[in-house]
Structure 1
Amino acid sequence: MITCPNCHHLNDGGNFCEKCGTRLTEGEAVVAGGAPAASVETVRPNEHLEKAKNVSKLYFGYFMSLLKSPLAKGSRIGEEHFVNGLITIILYSLILPLSMYVALGEYGRYMDSAFLTIVIKPTLAMAVFVFLMSVFTFCAVKVVGVQVTFKSAVAKFGAILVPFIAVFVLGLLMSLFEIYEFVFVLGLGLFGAIFTAPAIVVMSYTRNIASKFDPLYGIILTYVASFIVFALILRGFIMNMIDSLGIFSSPF
């Protein structure tokens, strides 16, 4: 029996539908005495998922190349890697709070909204701090007299953070296995980046530039501005932790 593609009438045979006269094709044959053959539909891949996969692959290649030779590759990074630089800043800002959350373990239950307090808020604060540090670095480069775009400076700053993300990942793994020296590893990743990234970025732009304003003073000003912001953020984080734990709160 053949099913009409137009009105779905079952025909005993022939080239045309008995009911509506539509031409019949062999592809409309009914399977196993009555059930129409299932039409094969082409599964279209999700465009957003495919884009996400492509971005992930590109970023992984970018990350691994910088991890192998951060100075050599990082010095050639331009504004075309601005988005990769922002992604790197976000990853760098996330892993440190996440490591602390993992290290606290069951003690986190004594805090109100532990994940929000230990991970989400510090990640946002850390991202703001690192981004501002890249802004200060850009300003230092401009003060020296180098013509550079903001996107290029941020991209290069993010590139220098790649090896310190690897250090943070090591600290995260150590916290998972309760190796308490992870604190020193995280400290290395934090302060290593604070002291290293601005200096490398500034010097990469000013190496062969003659300027009345020495690049060293630009680096020092970057450190001063960065540590002022860091102190303010750290103070806010400590006060937030105290409020969450209920320390010094009145028992009445």
Structure 2
Amino acid sequence: MKNCFACGNVQDAGNFCAKCGGTLTEVSATNDGGAPTPSQPTGQFGQPVQPGQPAPNFQQQGPNYQQPPFGQQGQPFGQQQFQQHDQGQQYQQQQYQQQYQQYQQAGPAQPNVHVERVKDQSKMFFNFFTTYLKQPSSIFGTGERQFTNGLISIIAYALLIGLSLFIFVSTAFGGFIDTGAVFFNVFGGSAIFIIAIFAVIVLSLFIVAKGFGPDTSWKEIISLLGTLSIPSIILSILSMLLFIVKSYDFGYWMFLISLLLVISAIPLYIITRLLTMRSKSLDSFYAYLVYIVIFSVLFYVLITVVWNNTAGKFIGGYW
């Protein structure tokens, strides 16, 4: 036990009093009467107090009084902790007030830039879709201005075709196969294959346009192809809905017609219009035939590559 000569406080541990900050002294063993006998008192800086000299009282603050050399700024530990706690609360309140003032000055939260861009692009595509659904042929002569919307149309059509095939497989053969396991193969494989067909069409149209017809850029060709594919997008949506209700006959015909439009009718219409408007030295009929030959060769190469890496590999390994 330790005793404070300044205020009489008794505590178990520590070198200074928790109440007044005075110096503590060890309490010796009990005397004959059983009362604890304190050891020799010490002064302000740990020096022993001479007999007859009163112990320093730290509660008395005269003009020459100095606080004991412990704690920051010469303050006892207990008072110092309370002041630090108050200072921490004041600092938190100041921070909160500063943040609140900044929030009031900033006004309402600013919208996300990327989200706003997506919203604007969605509105533009919707207007593009409805406008050219009514008059698809008005896309000729606009150049590359509808390149982004045309590219979105091509990607949307590819995704719809993949989703339609997956719905057909899941509804027609769901009891025989694990549809979750074949989702990426059917959906992803079909979408990638459709995008590859579009790439073949664009390349074929670009070669004929550069060599025999008008000087048309590949961005303009994508703009034309994507815009004229809007009816095919609607047919693919209808086929998907018919597959959902298990009307496979009508859904199959809608699906097949949309593919025939994209693969044959739309590209032939594009090359015909381009060669008719701005044909070079070669007659437009022969340039038209050149496109058919180039597309047939490239499409055959694509089918061969896809077959050898998918069904052909499976059948060859089986046999």
TM-score by length of 2: 0.59
Q: The residue matched to 2:216 in structure 1 has which SS?
A: coil
1:156 aligns with 2:224: yes
What one-letter code is carried by the residue in structure 2 that aligns with 1:174?
L
Q: Deviations over 1:57-112 (max 9, x none)?
A: 101111111111112x2223311211222111111222112111001112583478
**Residue pair 1:97, 1:123 contacting (<8 A) in 2 also:** yes
Give 1:16's aligned residue: none
Q: Distance in 1 between matches of 2:198 and 2:275?
A: 22
1:189 aligns with 2:258: yes
Q: Deviations over 1:30-49 (max 9, x none)?
A: xxxxxx99x66622211111
Quickly say closer, same or farther: Cα 1:114–1:204, change in 2 above 3 A: same
Quickly say closer, same or farther: Cα 1:143–1:239, change in 2 above 3 A: closer
What one-letter code is carried by the residue in structure 1 that aligns with 2:293?
V
* Matches for 1:161-240 after TM superposition, within 5 Å: 161-181=229-249, 182-209=251-278, 211-235=280-304, 237=306
Question: Could you say what the CA RMSD is over the residues aligned between the two structures, in angstroms?
Answer: 3.2
**Residue pair 2:204, 2:295 contacting (<8 A) in 1 also:** yes
**Residue pair 2:200, 2:299 contacting (<8 A) in 1 also:** no
Single out whichever of 114-123 and 217-226 deviates more from structure 2.
217-226
- Alignment match of 2:132 (pick from 38, 58, 66): 66
Q: Distance in 2 between matches of 1:88 and 1:144?
A: 28
Quickly say closer, same or farther: Cα 1:153–1:53, change in 2 above 3 A: same
Single out whichever of 43-52 and 228-237 deviates more from structure 2.
228-237
Q: Deviations over 1:162-190 (max 9, x none)?
A: 11111111111111111112112111111
Single out whichever of 47-56 and 88-97 deviates more from structure 2.
88-97
1:121 aligns with 2:189: yes
Q: The residue matched to 2:145 in structure 1 has which SS?
A: helix
Structure 1: which 5+ runs fail to align? 1-5, 10-21, 23-27, 29-35
1:131 aligns with 2:199: yes
TM-score by length of 1: 0.73
**Residue pair 2:213, 2:287 contacting (<8 A) in 1 also:** no
Q: The residue matched to 1:79 in structure 2 has which SS?
A: coil
Q: Deviations over 1:202-234 (max 9, x none)?
A: 222222445431223333333333344444444
* % same residue: 21
Q: Distance in 2 between matches of 1:138 and 1:67?
A: 25
Q: Distance in 1 between matches of 2:113 and 2:287?
A: 45
What one-letter code is carried by the residue in structure 2 that aligns with 1:70?
P
Q: Distance in 1 between matches of 2:114 and 2:268?
A: 38
- Alignment match of 2:114 (pick from 30, 36, 48): 48
Q: Quick check: which has more Rg, 1 or 2? A: 2
Q: Distance in 1 between matches of 2:176 and 2:197?
A: 25
What one-letter code is carried by the residue in structure 1 that aligns with 2:154?
I
Quickly say closer, same or farther: Cα 1:135–1:249, change in 2 above 3 A: closer
Shift of 1:50: 0.8
Q: Deviations over 1:124-143 (max 9, x none)?
A: 22212202201211221222
Q: Distance in 2 between matches of 1:94 and 1:108?
A: 25
Q: Deviations over 1:19-38 (max 9, x none)?
A: xxx9xxxxx7xxxxxxx99x
